[in-house]
C-alpha cells in the first residue's frame, strides 16, 4: 500500500513539475487570453528600444507589444530581466514574448521562434572623444566592454578567444594574443560608464543604443561603425521571440508587425523614443 501511495505521489509531483514548465509551446494564445495578461520579458537598459522613464519601462519594443496586447485584447505586463535569461524564460513559458532588440541568429532560432524582422542594426564602437581608437583593428590589445550574452559579446569574445571550426580545430581570433580583454556588463550603459577613468578603452554595442549613449555623454564619447578589416559589416535584424511551435501567437505578432511596418509606425517609434521621450 505504502509503495502504491509513494508511486502516486511521485507521479503527481512529476505532473506538477511538467505543468509548471508551461508545456512545449510556452504560453499559447489561449493561455494569454485566459490569464488576461501578455507577459513580455525585456532588459530595459537599451534605449530607444527599452528603457526606464518615470519608473516605467518604455521604448520601441514596448510600443510594439502594446499593439500586440491590444490586438489580443489583454493587458501588457513588462518585466525587466537580465538579457541572457530572456530566451530561457520564453522556452519555459515564464513569459510569452521576448522583446529586447534581439538579433535573429541561427543559434538562437534553435531555442525559440522569431517573428519577421522589424528593424535592422549594426555593431558600433564607443570610445572617449580623445581616444586614438578609430577602427575595429585598433581594438587589438585594448580593454573592451560589452553587454553579457549579446551579439557584441559573441563578436568580441570570439575575436579575443578564437573559435572552433567544424572539425574542432582552433581558429585564431582577430585579437587573440594581443592582450585584449573583454568585460561583460548587465547593459551597454553600465559598460560605458567604465570608459571614465579608463577602466575600459572601448564599448561595443548596437547602433542606436550606442548613438544615444554618445548623445547623453555631454561630449565625452564618440562612436563609429564596426567594419572588419576586409570591409565586411555586421548587419543584424531584430525579431520578437516566442516559444518554439507557438504558431498562433506568432501569427498575431506578425500581423501586428506587418501593419506597424507598412504604416511607418516603427520608424515613428524609433524617432519618438530617440528624441522626445529619452532615457536620462
Give me the residue label for grid cell 510594439. 64
Smallest gap, in angstroms, from Cβ of residue 35 to ligand ARG?
Answer: 24
Q: Strand pairing partners for 53? A: 56
Smallest gap, in angstroms, from Cβ of residue 200 to ligand ARG?
Answer: 18
Interface pick for ligand ARG out of 27, 28, 119, 187 (rule CB under 6 A): 187
Interface pick for ligand ARG out of 27, 28, 115, 151 (rule CB under 6 A): 151
**Which of 91, 86, 32 has the alpha carbon at shortest distance from 238?**
86
User: Distance between CA atoms of 169 and 178, rounded to whole angstroms?
Assistant: 20
Cell of 232: 565586411
101 lines the binding site for ligand ARG (CB under 6 A) = yes
Give me the residue label for grid cell 519608473. 55
Cell of 32: 494569454
Smallest gap, in angstroms, from Cβ of residue 85 to ligand ARG?
Answer: 11
Smallest gap, in angstroms, from Cβ of residue 167 to ligand ARG?
Answer: 27
Nearer to ligand ARG, 83 or 124 (CB): 83
User: Distance between CA atoms of 49 and 5, rounded to whole angstroms?
Assistant: 53
Query: Would you put residue 179 in left (φ > 0), alpha (ψ -120 to 50) or beta?
Result: left
| Alpha-carbon torsion, ordered 108, 111, 115, 119, to 10 deg | -20
100 lines the binding site for ligand ARG (CB under 6 A) = yes
43 lines the binding site for ligand ARG (CB under 6 A) = yes
Question: Which range binds ligand ARG by CB under 6 A, 10-18, 43-51, 68-76, 87-95?
Answer: 43-51
Interface pick for ligand ARG out of 103, 119, 246, 274 (rule CB under 6 A): 103
206 lines the binding site for ligand ARG (CB under 6 A) = yes
Amino acid at each position: 500500500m505504502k509503495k502504491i501511495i509513494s508511486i502516486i505521489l511521485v507521479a503527481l509531483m512529476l505532473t506538477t513539475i511538467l505543468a509548471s514548465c508551461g508545456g512545449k509551446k510556452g504560453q499559447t494564445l489561449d493561455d494569454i487570453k485566459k490569464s488576461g495578461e501578455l507577459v513580455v520579458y525585456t532588459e530595459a537598459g537599451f534605449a530607444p528600444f527599452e528603457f526606464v522613464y518615470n519608473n516605467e519601462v518604455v521604448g520601441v519594443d514596448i510600443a510594439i507589444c502594446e499593439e500586440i496586447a491590444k490586438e489580443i485584447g489583454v493587458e501588457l505586463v513588462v518585466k525587466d530581466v537580465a538579457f541572457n535569461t530572456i530566451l530561457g524564460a520564453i522556452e519555459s513559458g515564464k513569459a510569452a514574448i521576448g522583446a529586447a532588440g534581439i538579433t535573429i541568429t541561427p543559434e538562437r532560432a534553435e531555442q525559440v521562434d522569431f517573428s519577421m524582422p522589424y528593424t535592422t542594426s549594426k555593431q558600433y564602437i564607443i570610445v572617449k572623444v580623445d581616444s586614438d581608437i578609430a577602427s575595429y583593428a585598433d581594438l587589438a590589445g585594448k580593454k573592451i566592454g560589452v553587454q553579457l550574452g549579446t551579439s557584441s559579446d559573441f563578436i568580441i569574445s570570439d575575436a579575443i578567444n578564437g573559435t572552433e571550426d567544424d572539425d574542432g580545430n582552433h581558429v585564431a581570433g582577430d585579437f587573440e594574443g594581443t592582450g585584449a580583454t573583454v568585460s561583460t556588463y548587465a547593459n551597454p550603459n553600465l559598460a560605458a560608464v567604465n570608459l571614465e577613468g579608463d577602466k575600459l578603452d572601448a564599448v561595443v554595442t548596437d547602433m542606436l543604443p550606442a548613438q544615444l549613449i554618445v548623445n547623453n555623454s555631454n561630449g565625452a564619447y564618440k562612436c563609429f561603425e564596426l567594419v572588419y578589416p576586409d570591409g565586411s559589416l555586421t548587419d543584424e535584424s531584430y525579431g520578437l521571440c516566442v516559444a518554439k511551435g507557438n504558431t498562433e501567437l506568432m501569427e498575431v505578432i506578425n500581423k501586428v508587425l506587418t501593419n506597424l511596418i507598412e504604416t511607418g509606425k516603427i520608424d515613428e517609434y524609433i524617432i519618438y523614443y530617440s528624441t522626445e521621450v529619452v532615457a536620462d
